[in-house]
Amino acid sequence: MIIHQGIVCFLDLLGYKEMVKRDSGPFEPIYLPKIEDLLTSLKPSFDKTGLEIRQFSDSIVLSSKYSIDNAVKIIEAAAQVQYSMIINGILVRGGIAIGRHYTNGDIVYSQALVEAYYIESKYARFPRIVIDQNLIELMLGTSEDPKQLERNYS
């Protein structure tokens, strides 16, 4: 079993508890259809680019194998999800990181997910998506030793 290098975006749906509480009442659900419709509409474009998207509880996880091109795709996809959520009245905050990442459809086992969650919980204190500094340096080619950094994540 090989655990590849990956890029993961962890998004936290803010106010999730209240959304579920409201949708569990006697009225027609409002938030569940919005979330389901949004993710269903985005899935074909994610599948086309090789990105994976999963939603569970108050979390959305976007992931792909590591490459600079995929890093750009993840950032663009995260922005697309964030925008779509905002226009539907749902705020998100998140983190994007690189690291070892394994997924098989049922299991997500990921250093990158742990790091993306850490970035979200420590640095994204309000609705925004924070990108890991190592990933920024790789993308911009500004690392002090880009070859070493690249080896660490390839």
pLDDT score of 146: 47
Backbone phi, then psi, for 94, in 5-degree steps?
-165, 180
Scan for tokens 């790789």, then name that residue.
138
CATH assignment of the domain containing 12: 3.30.70.1230
What is the sign of the dihedral through the CA atoms of 117, 40, 14 and 70?
positive
Query: Which residue from 137, 129, 123 is spatially nearest to 10, judged by alpha carbons?
Result: 129
% residues pLDDT > 90 (the chain): 70
DSSP string, 66-130: --HHHHHHHHHHHHHHHHHHHHTT--EEEEEEEEEEEE-SS-EEEHHHHHHHHHHHHH--SS-EE
Query: Which residue from 138, 120, 117 is spatially nearest to 129, judged by alpha carbons?
Result: 120
Domain count, the chain: 1
Residue-number span of the structural domain to which 82 is assigned: 4-152
- The pTM assigned to this predicted structure is 0.89
Q: At 61, is the secondary structure helix, strand, or coil? A: strand
- Residues 45-101 pLDDT 10s: 888 888 999 999 999 999 999 999 999 999 999 999 999 999 999 999 999 999 999
